[in-house]
Amino acid sequence: MESEDQATGISPDMPTITVTSSDEIVLVCPKCENRGTIRLKTPPDKDFRITCKKCKEKILVKVNKRSYYRKDITVFVKYTIKSKRREGKITDISMGGVSIEIEASKFIPPFEKEGNVIEMVFALPPKDEKLDIFGEIIRINKTDEGKYSLGIKFVDLPVYASKEIGYFLM
């Protein structure tokens, strides 16, 4: 596998591999299954492209920057930002935070803004006991479906909530 400097010229149908950042990355071409190892001076901090030496397929290598395992989920959440009550749907959860999806018509930039602290109340199956957790909005993306996805990092996660989330993720 040959490494290319930047992930430019990426087409939507380009094959993608997701890897954990390391100075030595083993890759398998999704087209011809050729195995290769890339050795770098420092672990990559951004996505990059490679070209398979065998079949010449261009491949996007996405670098997983997450610190925690994330689990997909669909859970209703009520949250409060600056005394304004809001609601949405948690689409994934980890020990570090959640992603909340909200309808575009309910997105209000002064409230859903990076850096704002929110208070969330939700329940995880199968117990359905309410968890009351604070988090900070660290990322806002518009989805392909025209909704908004809020990346929330937990702030001062209570021990009980941490245990409940840990059990859920097992």
pLDDT in tens, 40-73: 888 888 888 999 999 999 998 888 766 667 788 9
Q: Is 2 left (phi over 0), alpha (psi -120 to 50) or beta?
A: beta
Beta bridge partners of 39: 24
The CA distance from 161 to 103, in Å, is: 27
Among 77-81, 108-112, 148-152, which stretch is predicted with the lowest mean pLDDT?
108-112
What are the residue boundaries of the structural domains of the chain, listed by start? 2-64, 71-169
Radius of gyration of the chain (CA): 19
The CA distance from 100 to 77, in Å, is: 8
Residue 83, pLDDT > 70, answer yes
Higher pLDDT, 138 or 20: 138
Note the pLDDT of residue 63: 81
Residue 14, pLDDT > 80, answer no
Total-model pTM: 0.63
Residue 138: strand, helix, or coil: strand
The DSSP secondary-structure symbol of 151 reads: E
Q: What is the mean pLDDT of residues 95-118?
A: 91
Which pairing describes strands 16-20 and 58-64: parallel, antiparallel, or unpaired? parallel
CA nearest neighbour of 154 among 137, 134, 131: 134
CATH class of the domain defined by 71-169: mainly beta
